C-alpha cells in the first residue's frame, strides 16, 4: 500500500514540475519578445505571425518532450514495480533497490545489453578460444607448406561421387598499381568483351563477376544488342554477379555506413539494369575478414559467402577439424537469424596454383594461361601441357588426386575450385586455353564412371545449391562460428597490421566524405519532402535543380564506395593511384556541399518565392575551404561589422546536442545571438596561432555553445561589438629552454618562472579535472567529479623496422618492427607549451617537432563536458622507416583483454598473447577501443581508423602515421613516402562501472556505454557551419526543425537516402530509404549527467512518434539494400498510423518510406 502511494506522489510531482516548466518557458519567450518591441513598422505583422507559428511549434515540442519524460518515468516505475514484486519486497534474494542512485548497482538500465558469453553447443567455434589453443608454430608441411600431408584410401567416393565445380573468375582491383580508369581501358573492358563472346560459344561455360563499379562502366560502353546478350547469359546461369558490391571492400578500416553504401550502390544498379539479386558473397582479396560485413550481406539477402585471406595457422586448424565451411554467426546474436554459410578457401592464395589442391607445383600445371611460349610461367619449373588424347589419362588422374586430397578437408563430397587470378581472361586465347583444356579433362572424367567424379564449370550458386542438397541428404549440419579473422598473416611472422594505419591522411578524408554524404542525403531528402508539402501537388519547385543535385549525390555515393576497395582505404595503392582516389573524394566533398547549401537555402527562407539557384554565387558557403585533395581544410575568416552576419549551423545527428561551434573572425570583439530569440550565446575569443609562439593579429577564433535540435538548421547572428566586451581566453606559455618570447597582443599571456613553472598544469570543468606535466604538457592524471585521482598518462613513441640486408621490413601492408620495440619519443629540445583558459573551453597544447598535441576540456553542460578531446597534427616527412605512436597508460587492471570495434558496428574482445610477435597484437580500430576492470572503463573514440594495441595492462596505443622507405614484397613495388601534414582527432572517456560489471568468462560480448555512443556520434558527425555573404541585403531566414524531439538515445538514423526514380534515370523518386540502427549499449554505467534523449526496454517503436511531425505516407520494411525482392509483401505495408515496428538491439532496419 505504502509503495503504491509513493508511486502516485512521484508521478504527481513530475506532472506538476512539467506544467510549471512549460509555463516558465512561455514566460521567458514572452520576455525575450518584449525586449525587441517598439512601434510595429510595416511588415511586422508577417513577422509576428511567423513568430507565433514558431512559438506554437515550440510549445508542441515541449509538450512532446514532456510526454516522453512521463512515458520514460512510467516505464522505469513499472520496471521498479516489477522488480519489487519479483523480489518479494526486496528480501529473500530479490533485487535490491537503493535510494541514492537512479540505477542502482543491481538494477540495469532499461534496454541495455548485459555482458554475456554466448555458447553454441558442442559444435560451436569461438575464434578467441582457437587463438588461445593454437601454438602458432610454423612447421614445414611438405607439398602444402603451411599444412600437412593429406591421405585417402580411394574408396571414399564409391557411394557418393565427388561433385566438382570449377569456377572461372577474374579479380579486378578498382585501382592498385594503375588507376581505376587505366585498368578499365587496358584490361577490364577486354575481359568483359571476351566474356560475352566466349560464354556464348558454349552453354557449359560459366563465370562469376564481383566488381559492379567496372561492370557498370562497361555497360555504359556497350550497345543494346550486347546488353541483351548479357541478360541472356545471366538468365541462363552462365554469368553470375557475386556479392554485388560496387567494390570488393576492405573489412578492417571501412565504417559500416560506407560498407553498406557500396553494397547498396551495386545492388541498386543490378536491380535497375539486370533485374537480378546476388545470393553469394565473394571476398578473396581483403586482408582479413569482419563479421560486420557478413551481417550486412545477410541483411542484403545473401545466404552464402567465400573468404580467402585468413591466418595460415587458423586455416590449418580448420582444415584438420573439417570446419572450413561453417555458419558464421554474430557474436551478440543468441538466435540463428544472422547466420550465413561461409566457405573458407584452405590454401595460401586464390590463384590457380593454390586452389586445385594442396600441391602448388602440380596445380600450376593446370593453369593453361601458363602454357609454354606465354608471358606467365610456373615458378616450380614444371609447365602445363595442352591436353591431348595421348596424355589425357595421365593428366586427369594427376589432377583428380589433387581434387581428392582437397576434398578430404571438407565434410561434404562437393568441391569448390576457383579458376582465375588478378585481371585474368584479358585475351581471347586465354579463354580458349582454359576452357577447351578443362573441357577435355571433364569429358574424360565423364567417360570413366569408375573414377566417381562429376566435374563441370560452375558458379557460386551452383556450388552452394549442391552443398545444401548433399548436407540435407546426409542430415549433416555445419558448425557455427563466432568472431573475426584479424590480424591476418600469410606466411612466417608477416602480419598485415601495417595497412590499418597506412596513408592516414586519406583514411581521415574518407570519414570526412562519409559524414558530408550522410548529412547531405538527409537534408536533401527532407528538402524534397518539404517542397512537395509546400506546393501541395507533390511536385518540386521549378528553380530547384533536383536532378543535378541527385547526380552529385550519386557521384558522392560512388566515390565513397570506390574508396572502400581493399587497396584504397587501406593505403596500399601506388602514389599516382592514391592521388586519383584523393581527387575523387575531394571533388565529391565539394559537390555534396553545394547540394547541402542549396537544400539549406530553400529550407531556411521564410518567403520561398525568393529562392533562386545560382551556381556561381551560392547563397550559403561552408565556413572552411579545401584547397586541394592533399591539403587540410582551412577556416575562412568572416569580416564583421555592426550589421549582423548570419551563421547557419546544421546538426546532422538525430539527437538534441550541446555543441561548441567555432568560426574565424577578423576582430577580437564579437558577439553571437540566436537569430530567432535574440538570446546572446556564451562565447569566447581565442588566438589563432600562426606559429607556436606568435598569434595572428588579423584572425581570431570565436567559439560559442549552441544547443542544436535534431536534424535542425539553426540561425545565429554574429556582430562586431565594443572593444573588450567579449570573453577572451587567457594564456600561460612555458618552454623548458627558458622563458619564450610570445607575440599575442590582444591576449593576456603569463610566463611562469622558477618553481611556479615546474608545478604541474591543471584544468577542470564540472565533470573532470586533469593534470599535465609542466615539462611536456602531456596528460598525467585525471579525476572524475569527486572520485579518486587516477593515473592516465599520454606518451609518444617511435617504432622502427627490422635491420639487416636480407631481412623483410615494414611496408604498406606489413608491420615488422625492429627487435628493440617502441622507443620513447625524446625531443632534441623541449616543447613549447600553451595553456588556454576560457568560459567555453580550456586546453593544453604541446608543440613538438613532429607533432602538435592538444588536450581540451569543454565547459558545456550535458555529456559534451564529460570527455577529453585529444587532437594531433602530425608531420613525419623528415623521418625514414619510422612509425609514430600515441600511447595511453592507465591504472585500469584489464589483464590481457581489451576491446576494439569492428567497422564501428560492434565491439570485439581481443587478447594480447605473449606467444605472438608484437605486430600480431595490433588490431584495426575504426572508431573505438576500450580497456576495463570491475570498477572502471577507459574508452578511446576516434574520428578516423588506425591500428590499436594494448600491449600491457592498462595501456592502449594507436599508430598515428608511418613512413617506410621500401616495398614489403606483396606486389605494390614501392614504400610509403607520400606522407602529409595529417590531423587525428579523439575523445577519451573514463567511466565508473556499477552493477553487472562482474567479469564474464570466456569470449564475453561487450558494448560501448550509452555515453560513448553519444560521444562517438558527435565526434563522427560534427555540426556543419555555413555563412551567408557579408554584403547584400538578406532575405528573412527562419530555423528549420523537422523533428519535435530527439530519437531514443540508442536509435541511430543511419541514413535517409532518396532512391532513384524507377521510370526516369538519374532522377530522385518520392521514395526514401530510411535506415535505423538500434545500438546495443552496456549495462554497467549509466550516463552521467543523463542525456536529454530517452531509452526503453521495448523492441517495438512507433515510427510516426519517432519522426513526428514528419508525415510518413507509407512505410514498408525491406532488405538493407532496398531491393524490391526484399520488400515486405504489399499486405504488410503500413499505410495508416500508428506504424509500429520492431527494432532489436544491434540490428539495422531498412524501410521504404514516402514522406508526405
Residue of 941, 940, 982 whose CA lies nearest to 960: 982
Cα separation, 1080 vs 288, in Å, equals 25
The secondary structure of 627-648 as a DSSP string is -STTS--EEPEEPP-SSPEEEE
Beta bridge partners of 929: 900, 940
Residues sharing a CB contact under 8 Å with residue 365, sequence separation 6 or more, in sequence order: 378, 382, 383, 384, 385, 398
Quickly count helices (H) and strands (E) in the chain. 20, 50
Cα 954 from chain centroid (whole Å): 26
C-alpha cell at position 129: 578460444
CB 511, CB 576: distance < 8 Å = no
Q: Name the grid cell of 952.
A: 600491457
Phi first, then psi: give them for residue 26, nearest 5 degrees.
Answer: -60, -40
Instruction: Give me the residue label for grid cell 600469410.
Output: 490
8 A C-beta contact, residue 162 and residue 407: yes
Q: Are 652 and 1024 in contact (CB under 8 A)?
A: yes
Burial class (CB in 10 A: 0-12, 13-18, 19+), 1066: exposed
708, containing H or E segment? strand 694-708
Least Cα distance to 528 among 553, 559, 561, 493 occurs for: 553
Alpha helix (H) residue ranges in 925-1059: 1010-1020
DSSP structural state of residue 1082: B
DSSP 314-341: HHHHHHHHT-SEEEE--TT-SSSTT-EE
Q: Give the integer Cα–Cα distance in Å for 397 and 613.
A: 72
What element of type H or E holds 63?
helix 44-86
Instruction: Quickly count: other Cβ atoms within 10 Å of residue 696's Cβ.
Output: 18
Residue 854's H or E segment, with its range, is: strand 851-858
Cβ–Cβ < 8 Å for 30, 22: no
Q: Is the dihedral of CA 134, 139, 144, 146 positive or negative?
A: positive
**Residue (of 721, 611, 576, 593) closest to 1027 by Cα position:** 593
Q: Catalytic residue positions?
A: 285
Taking every pair of Cα atoms in the chain, the longest distance, rounded to a whole number of angstroms, is 108
Per-residue burial over 570-591, b = 16 or more CB atoms within 10 Å of its CB, e = otherwise = bbbbbeebbbbbbebbbbbbeb
The conformation of residue 976, written as its DSSP 8-state character, comes to B
Closest to 333 (Cα-Cα) out of 131, 543, 162, 483: 483
Cβ 968 vs Cβ 812: under 8 Å: yes
Phi and psi based region of residue 972 (left: phi greater than 0; alpha: psi -120 to 50; beta: remaining): alpha
DSSP code string of 571-593: S-S-HHHHHHHHHHHHHHHHHHH
| Strand-strand pairing, 768-772 and 779-784 | antiparallel
Amino acid at each position: 500500500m505504502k509503495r503504491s502511494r509513493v508511486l502516485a506522489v512521484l508521478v504527481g510531482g513530475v506532472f506538476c514540475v512539467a506544467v510549471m516548466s512549460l509555463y516558465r518557458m512561455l514566460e521567458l519567450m514572452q520576455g525575450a519578445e518584449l525586449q525587441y518591441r517598439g512601434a510595429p513598422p510595416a511588415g511586422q505583422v508577417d513577422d509576428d505571425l511567423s513568430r507565433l507559428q514558431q512559438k506554437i511549434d515550440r510549445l508542441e515540442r515541449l509538450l512532446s518532450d514532456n510526454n516522453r519524460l512521463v512515458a520514460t518515468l512510467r516505464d522505469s516505475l513499472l520496471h521498479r514495480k516489477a522488480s519489487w514484486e519479483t523480489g518479494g519486497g526486496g528480501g529473500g534474494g530479490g533485487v535490491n533497490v537503493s535510494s541514492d542512485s537512479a540505477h542502482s548497482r543491481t538494477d540495469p538500465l532499461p534496454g541495455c545489453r548485459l555482458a554475456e558469453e554466448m555458447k553454441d553447443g558442442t559444435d560451436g567455434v569461438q575464434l578467441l578460444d582457437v587463438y588461445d589453443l593454437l601454438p602458432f608454430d610454423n612447421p614445414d608441411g611438405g607439398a602444402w607448406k603451411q599444412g600437412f600431408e593429406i591421405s585417402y584410401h580411394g574408396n571414399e567416393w564409391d557411394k557418393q561421387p565427388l561433385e566438382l565445380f570449377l569456377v572461372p573468375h577474374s579479380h579486378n582491383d578498382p585501382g592498385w598499381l594503375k588507376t581505376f580508369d587505366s585498368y578499365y581501358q587496358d584490361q577490364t573492358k577486354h575481359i568483359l568483351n571476351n566474356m560475352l563472346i566466349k560464354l556464348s560459344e558454349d552453354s557449359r561455360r560459366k563465370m562469376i563477376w564481383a566488381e559492379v563499379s567496372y561492370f557498370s562502366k562497361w555497360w555504359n560502353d556497350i550497345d543494346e544488342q550486347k546488353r541483351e546478350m548479357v541478360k541472356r547469359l545471366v538468365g541462363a546461369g552462365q554469368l553470375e554477379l557475386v556479392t554485388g558490391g560496387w567494390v570488393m571492400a576492405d573489412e578492417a578500416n571501412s565504417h559500416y555506413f560506407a560498407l553498406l553504401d557500396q553494397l547498396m550502390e551495386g545492388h541498386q544498379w543490378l536491380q535497375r539494369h539486370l533485374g537480378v539479386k546476388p545470393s553469394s558473397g565473394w571476398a578473396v582479396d581483403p586482408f582479413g575478414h569482419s563479421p560486420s560485413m557478413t551481417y550486412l550481406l545477410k541483411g542484403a539477402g545473401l545466404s552464402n559467402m567465400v573468404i580467402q585471406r585468413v591466418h595460415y595457422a587458423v586455416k590449418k586448424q580448420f582444415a584438420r577439424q573439417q570446419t572450413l565451411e561453417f555458419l558464421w554467426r554474430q557474436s551478440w546474436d543468441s538466435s540463428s537469424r544472422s547466420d550465413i554459410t561461409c566457405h573458407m578457401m584452405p590454401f595460401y592464395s586464390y590463384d590457380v596454383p593454390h586452389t586445385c589442391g594442396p600441391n602448388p607445383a602440380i596445380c600450376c600445371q593446370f593453369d593453361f594461361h601458363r602454357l609454354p611460349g606465354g608471358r606467365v610461367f610456373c615458378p616450380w619449373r614444371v609447365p602445363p601441357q595442352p591436353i591431348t588424347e595421348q596424355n589425357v589419362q595421365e593428366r586427369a588422374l594427376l589432377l583428380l588426386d589433387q581434387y581428392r586430397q582437397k576434398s578430404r578437408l571438407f565434410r561434404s563430397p562437393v568441391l569448390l575450385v576457383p579458376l582465375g587470378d588478378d585481371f585474368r581472361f584479358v585475351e581471347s586465347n586465354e579463354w580458349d586455353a582454359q576452357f577447351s583444356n578443362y573441357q577435355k579433362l571433364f569429358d574424360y572424367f565423364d567417360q570413366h564412371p569408375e573414377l566417381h567424379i562429376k566435374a563441370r564449370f560452375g558458379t557460386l550458386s551452383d556450388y552452394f545449391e549442391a552443398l545444401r542438397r548433399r548436407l540435407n541428404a546426409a542430415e549433416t549440419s555445419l558448425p557455427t562460428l563466432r568472431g573475426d579473422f584479424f590480424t591476418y598473416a600469410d606466411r612466417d611472422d608477416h602480419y598485415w597490421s601495417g595497412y590499418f594505419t597506412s596513408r592516414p591522411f586519406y583514411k581521415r578524408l574518407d570519414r570526412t566524405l562519409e559524414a558530408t554524404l550522410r548529412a547531405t542525403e538527409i537534408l536533401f531528402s527532407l528538402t524534397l519532402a518539404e517542397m512537395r508539402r509546400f506546393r501541395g501537388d507533390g511536385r518540386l519547385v521549378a528553380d530547384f535543380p533536383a536532378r543535378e543535385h541527385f547526380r552529385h549525390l550519386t557521384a558522392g555515393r560512388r566515390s565513397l564506395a570506390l574508396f572502400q576497395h581493399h587497396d584504397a582505404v587501406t593505403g596500399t595503392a601506388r602514389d599516382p593511384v592514391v592521388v586519383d582516389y584523393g581527387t575523387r573524394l575531394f571533388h565529391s566533398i565539394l559537390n555534396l556541399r553545394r547540394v547541402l547549401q542549396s537544400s539549406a537555402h530553400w529550407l531556411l527562407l521564410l518567403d520561398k518565392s525568393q529562392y533562386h539557384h545560382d551556381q556561381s554565387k551560392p547563397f550559403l558557403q561552408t565556413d572552411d575551404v579545401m584547397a586541394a585533395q592533399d591539403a587540410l581544410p582551412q577556416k575562412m575568416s568572416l569580416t564583421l561589422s555592426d550589421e549582423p552576419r548570419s551563421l547557419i549551423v546544421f546538426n546532422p545527428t538525430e539527437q538534441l546536442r550541446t555543441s561548441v561551434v567555432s568560426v574565424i573572425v577578423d576582430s577580437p570583439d564579437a558577439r553571437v545571438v540566436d537569430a530567432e530569440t535574440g538570446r546572446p550565446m556564451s562565447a569566447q575569443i581565442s588566438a589563432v596561432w600562426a606559429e607556436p609562439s606568435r598569434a595572428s593579429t588579423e584572425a581570431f577564433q570565436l567559439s560559442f555553445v549552441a544547443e542544436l535540435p535534431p536534424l535542425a538548421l539553426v540561425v545565429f547572428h554574429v556582430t562586431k561589438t565594443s572593444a573588450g566586451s567579449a570573453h577572451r581566453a587567457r594564456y600561460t606559455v612555458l618552454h623548458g629552454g627558458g622563458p619564450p618570447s610570445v607575440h599575442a597582443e590582444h591576449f593576456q599571456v603569463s610566463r611562469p618562472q622558477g618553481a611556479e613553472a615546474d608545478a604541474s598544469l591543471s584544468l577542470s570543468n564540472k565533470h573532470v579535472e586533469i593534470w599535465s606535466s609542466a615539462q611536456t604538457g602531456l596528460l598525467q592524471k585525471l579525476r572524475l567529479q569527486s572520485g579518486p585521482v587516477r593515473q592516465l598518462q599520454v606518451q609518444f613513441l617511435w617504432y622502427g623496422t627490422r635491420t639487416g640486408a636480407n631481412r623483410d621490413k615494414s611496408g604498406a601492408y606489413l608491420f615488422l618492427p625492429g627487435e628493440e620495440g617502441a622507443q620513447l619519443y625524446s625531443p632534441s629540445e623541449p616543447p613549447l607549451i600553451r595553456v588556454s583558459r576560457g568560459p567555453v573551453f580550456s586546453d593544453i597544447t604541446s608543440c613538438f617537432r613532429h607533432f602538435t598535441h592538444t588536450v581540451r576540456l569543454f565547459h558545456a553542460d550535458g555529456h559534451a563536458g564529460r570527455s577529453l578531446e585529444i587532437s594531433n597534427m602530425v608531420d613525419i616527412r623528415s623521418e625514414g622507416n619510422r612509425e609514430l605512436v600515441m600511447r595511453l597508460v592507465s591504472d585500469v587492471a584489464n589483464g590481457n583483454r581489451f576491446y576494439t570495434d569492428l567497422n564501428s558496428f560492434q565491439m570485439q574482445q581481443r587478447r594480447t598473447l605473449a606467444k605472438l610477435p608484437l605486430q600480431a597484437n595490433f588490431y584495426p580500430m575504426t572508431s573505438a577501443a576500450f580497456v576495463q576492470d570491475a570498477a572502471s572503463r577507459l574508452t578511446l573514440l576516434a574520428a578516423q581508423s588506425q591500428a590499436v594495441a594494448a600491449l600491457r595492462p592498462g595501456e592502449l596505443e594507436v599508430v598515428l602515421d608511418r613512413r617506410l622507405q621500401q616495398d614489403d614484397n606483396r606486389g605494390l613495388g614501392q614504400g610509403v613516402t607520400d606522407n602529409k601534414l595529417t590531423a587525428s582527432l579523439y575523445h577519451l572517456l573514463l567511466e565508473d562501472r556499477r552493477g553487472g560489471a562482474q567479469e564474464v568468462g570466456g569470449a564475453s560480448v561487450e558494448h560501448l556505454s550509452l555515453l560513448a555512443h553519444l560521444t562517438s556520434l558527435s565526434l563522427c558527425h560534427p555540426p556543419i557551419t555555413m555563412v551567408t555573404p557579408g554584403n547584400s541585403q538578406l532575405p528573412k531566414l527562419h530555423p528549420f526543425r523537422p523533428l519535435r524531439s530527439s530519437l531514443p538515445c540508442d536509435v541511430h538514423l543511419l541514413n535517409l537516402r532518396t532512391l532513384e526514380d524507377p521510370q526516369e534515370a538519374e532522377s530522385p523518386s518520392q521514395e526514401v530509404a530510411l535506415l535505423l540502427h538500434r545500438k546495443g549499449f552496456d549495462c554497467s554505467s549509466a550516463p552521467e549527467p543523463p542525456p536529454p534523449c530517452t531509452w526503453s526496454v521495448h523492441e517495438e517503436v512507433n515510427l510516426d512518434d519517432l519522426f513526428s511531425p514528419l508525415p510518413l505516407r507509407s512505410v514498408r520494411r525491406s532488405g538493407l539494400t532496398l531491393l524490391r525482392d526484399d520488400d515486405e509483401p504489399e499486405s504488410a505495408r503500413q499505410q495508416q498510423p500508428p506504424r509500429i515496428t520492431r527494432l532489436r538491439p544491434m540490428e539495422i532496419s531498412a524501410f521504404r518510406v514516402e514522406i508526405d
